[in-house]
Amino acid sequence: MHELWSSRTFKFDFPVERLPVIIDRLRGAPDRVEAKLRGRAAALLTTRDGEAWSMQEHVGHLADLDALHLKRLDEIERGAPELSGHDMTNRATWEANHNARPYAEVLGRFRATRSVLVARLANWDPARISASALHPRLKQPMRVVDIAFFAAEHDDYYIAEIESIRAKTADAAPARPRMAHWCDLPSDAPMPLLERRRVIGELAMVSHVTLHAGCDVPVHAHVNEQISCVLSGRVEFTLADERRTLGAGEVIYLPSRAPHGARAIDEAVILDIFAPPSATTGIDRA
């Protein structure tokens, strides 16, 4: 059993020049989580041991806490004397119900929050590198480099917790291959003139979409990368600054957050590949 996080003591006496090293630790945390949990079955990822969080909830917690780290950076930036306190009951994580979402969405959110935190730290004004504010529980002044270090240590603590759960379930069965005919999968119609069948994996999702003539998906954007393969018919894609018509056999890659819309010129079938997967994409909110 390792030491409890709440009993950890800290010495914030290292030079600010260590910040790039600590930033890289923070940058690497989602990669460590991804490598550790790759191929684990959803049932194992979401299993709680009594009242303790599941592996997936631990990942969700890391993303939840990034909001606090960012808030504390805001406070240092505006010269607040004291940093925000943390809710030691971790209510945000309990209430988030991270187990109810696909694992890839939970990990994708952690990647997104972490990328914001890393960018914020990497672009911190060097003139304000020594500014500090009091940590309300530790009763110690913290600089930006100390907040980064604290977050990196917090990552390590919870990733070790994940490892401890993973090791206990290492002999359990990993995710197994599944197969089906598209026609046998459930369909939905998230918007008029559009039918969709999906296979949602842990790291990617494929949507088999039929766009009836005149179907017009408004321009939207999402964090998932999307690759659209037109299997039949013709579709006019609206991109940030141009329109392109694609026919059967053509494919388009849409980077994360790239605005795009689609209009069926005649009835078209598209295979949309998304990574990471998510229960909702742009058309669900259209």
Partner 1 sequence: MFSLEPWFSRSFTFDFPVERLPIILDRLRGAPDRIEAKLRRLTPAALTRRPGTGWSIQEHVGHLHDLEKLHLRRLDDLAAGAATLSLADLENRATWAANHNARPFIAVLDDVRRSRLALFSRLESWDPARLADHATHPRLQQPMRVVDLAFFVAEHDDYHLARMQLLMPAPAAPLRNWTGADA
Find the binder of partner 1 among 12, 25, 141, 273 (CB under 8 A).
Answer: 25
Position 164 contacts partner 1 (CB under 8 A): yes
Interacting residues with partner 1 between 128 and 157 (CB under 8 A): 129, 156-157
Burial of residue 232, with CB atoms counted within 10 A of its CB: 0-12 exposed, 13-18 middle, 19 or more buried: middle
The candidate with the shortest Cα–Cα distance to 263, out of 238, 227, 231, 285, is 238
Nearer to partner 1, 84 or 256 (CB): 256
Min. distance of Cβ 251 from partner 1 in angstroms?
6
Find the binder of partner 1 among 6, 12, 27, 275 (CB under 8 A).
Answer: 27
Min. distance of Cβ 144 from partner 1 in angstroms?
10
Find the binder of partner 1 among 50, 79, 81, 126 (CB under 8 A).
Answer: 126
Min. distance of Cβ 141 from partner 1 in angstroms?
19
Q: Point out which residues bind partner 1 (CB under 8 A).
A: 1-3, 11, 15-25, 27-28, 31-32, 34-36, 122, 126, 129, 156-157, 159-160, 163-164, 239-240, 242, 244, 250-253, 255, 258
